Amino acid sequence: MSDTINYTDWAGEVLDKIRTKLEWVSEKNRHRIPYTTDESGSYDDRSDLTRRWGEADGLDWWTNGFWGGLMWLLYQDTKEEKYAQIARISEEKLSCCFDGFYGLHHDVGFMFLPTAVYDYRLTGREQSRRLGLHAANLLAGRFNPAGGFIRAWNDLPGEDSRGWAIIDCMLNIALLYWASEETKDPRFRQIAMRHADTVMEAFVRPDGSVCHIVEFDPETGERLKSHGGQGFCHGSAWTRGQGWALYGFMTSYRHTGREEYLQTAKRVAHYCMANLTPEGIIPVDFRQPKEPAWEDSCGAAVIAGGLLDLAAHVPEAEQDMYRRAAFRILDALYRTRCDFGPGCDAIVQNCSAAYHADRHHMTMVYADYFFAEALYRLRGGLTDCF
């Protein structure tokens, strides 16, 4: 089928449906910052200021940038001012997180790139630039020079996490690349590259799969061990983590031109493609048992977006292989895992936060973001956020 498909037209048709749905979803949730939907299909709201800082459902929850990011994608496409206005409601709420400080982790990239930085890139708004630079300074301050890594989280209950770095941070460091480009100060980029180099060395396995969490000695920088994190077990291959690696190494390549990042992205891409089923449905972990067959549509969308970025940066003869794989994933999501109807505020279904989470096959706002972004990458005409 993909031999004859016109990807640009196909992506355009799916994006028409996304726009139609998000027209009413965005009005309904104008003042919220959603993460997931409840039993009635309505989005929740993580922007409750009465929550304590650092609580999973509070304002500093790590996914709180994606609702704004989705609105900025629509704004770019439609030029309708209402999407910019809704995105700014998120941005202004998120700016209050700086007061809480301790609830902010390495995820300031996920929070402020799709909101403040995207706003600044698209509109030149000065106060958004300031928010973005503030967040970049916090992220740079998490760098551990002994191990050459960015610390993931602040203290976790019952864990000494001073030496923990996680694969997800490969997207957050895009905030540092942006800050260097913006200020002409190379320190942010130098930190981002040191972190990416450490990840190449300490996370990526010989077969191209990656670990989720690596623990270093915070004093000496010695690599101590890896942890299974959100995947099936220690040594497994959490699919969204493979996606963060592929997508993130491409982001590092785009910002630096360093060939090793492109080659690493390729290795991770080939690991993912070798494990893709003909149906294109993505499990929570490529090494999970057959049953229960938990899926993660969000990981699928992230991998597809990374493959499309890769396709755009390799010689012509290699491009089709990556685009076909991305199409297989996106087409499977579109045909079998999307809800374009009025019964649910979210579009992408069957997402899982972690293999051992209490809840599976839920909706997650960042799945909608990465699905839409991948489609815009396939169709063309997008200013990148990461």
Distance between start and end Cα atoms, the chain: 31
Give least dist CB 230 to ligand GLY, A: 6
Give least dist CB 353 to ligand GLY, A: 5
Give least dist CB 62 to ligand GLY, A: 6
Report how far residue 11's alpha carbon sits from residue 73's, in angstroms, rounded to the nearest whole number: 14
Which residue, among 193, 243, 195, 234, has the nearest Cα to 211 in the 3D structure? Answer: 234
Comparison of 323 and 337: residue with beta carbon closer to ligand GLY: 337
Comparison of 114 and 180: residue with beta carbon closer to ligand GLY: 114
Give least dist CB 106 to ligand GLY, A: 9
Give least dist CB 370 to ligand GLY, A: 11
**Extended strands (E) in the chain:** 143-144, 149-150, 164-166, 213-216, 223-227
Comparison of 10 and 62: residue with beta carbon closer to ligand GLY: 62
Judged by the rule CB under 6 A, the positions of this chain that interact with ligand GLY are 62, 168, 230, 240, 353
By the 8 A CB rule, do 285 and 277 touch? no
Tokens of 180: 């260097």
Comparison of 105 and 129: residue with beta carbon closer to ligand GLY: 105
Instruction: Please give the residue whose beta carbon sits closest to ligand GLY in the complex.
Output: 168
Report how far residue 157's alpha carbon sits from residue 217's, in angstroms, rounded to the nearest whole number: 19
Comparison of 298 and 344: residue with beta carbon closer to ligand GLY: 298
Residue 171 backbone zone (phi > 0: left; psi -120 to 50: alpha; other: beta) = alpha
Comparison of 241 and 331: residue with beta carbon closer to ligand GLY: 241
Give least dist CB 73 to ligand GLY, A: 19
Report how far residue 139's alpha carbon sits from residue 152's, in angstroms, rounded to the nearest whole number: 10
Q: Name the 3-class secondary structure at 43.
A: strand
Give least dist CB 213 to ligand GLY, A: 11
Question: Within 13 Å and on the Cβ side, how many CA atoms surround 299?
Answer: 31
Comparison of 46 and 240: residue with beta carbon closer to ligand GLY: 240
Comparison of 107 and 331: residue with beta carbon closer to ligand GLY: 107
Comparison of 10 and 386: residue with beta carbon closer to ligand GLY: 386
Residue 285 Cα distances to 199, 276, 307, 325, 377, angstroms: 20, 12, 18, 18, 25
Which amino acid belongs to residue 21? K
- β-pair partners for 338: 348
Give least dist CB 244 to ligand GLY, A: 7
By the 8 A CB rule, do 55 and 100 touch? no
Which residue, among 220, 354, 194, 332, has the nearest Cα to 284 in the 3D structure? Answer: 354
Which residue, among 333, 223, 325, 190, has the nearest Cα to 266 in the 3D structure? Answer: 325
Give least dist CB 386 to ligand GLY, A: 13
